[in-house]
Amino acid sequence: MTEWIRRPKPYVPDLRQLGALCEGNYQRLHRLRQLEVAGCPVSEFELHREHLYLGRVRIQVLQTARYTETLLLEQTHNAGRWLNNPEMTVRVYHDAAMAEVISCYRDRRIAPANDYPNRFMHHPDEKVQVNAFLADWLDFCLRFGHLPMEQPAWSAGEGLE
Q: Give, as one character, the DSSP assignment of residue 31.
A: H
Calculate mean pLDDT across residues 36-62.
85
> How many residues in the chain?
161
Rounded distance, CA 161 to CA 159, Å? Answer: 6
Q: What is the pLDDT of residue 9?
A: 74
Say yes or no to pLDDT of 116 above 90: no
Residue 74 near residue 89, CB atoms below 8 Å: no
Split at pLDDT 50, 70, 90, the class of 26 is: very high
Q: How many CB atoms lie within 10 A of CB 59?
A: 20
Nearest residue to 16 (alpha-carbon basis) of 24, 6, 26: 24
Amino acid, res. 28 = R
* Strands ordered across the beta sheet of 42-49: 98-104, 87-93, 68-76, 52-64, 42-49, 145-146
Query: What separation in angstroms does the CA of 76 have from each of 71, 94, 146?
Result: 16, 27, 15
Rounded mean pLDDT, 68-84: 78
Which one has a higher pLDDT value, 123 or 92?
Answer: 92
What pLDDT is recorded for position 154? 37
Domain ranges of the chain: 40-145
Distance CA 132, CA 147 (A): 25
Indicate the average pLDDT of the chain: 79
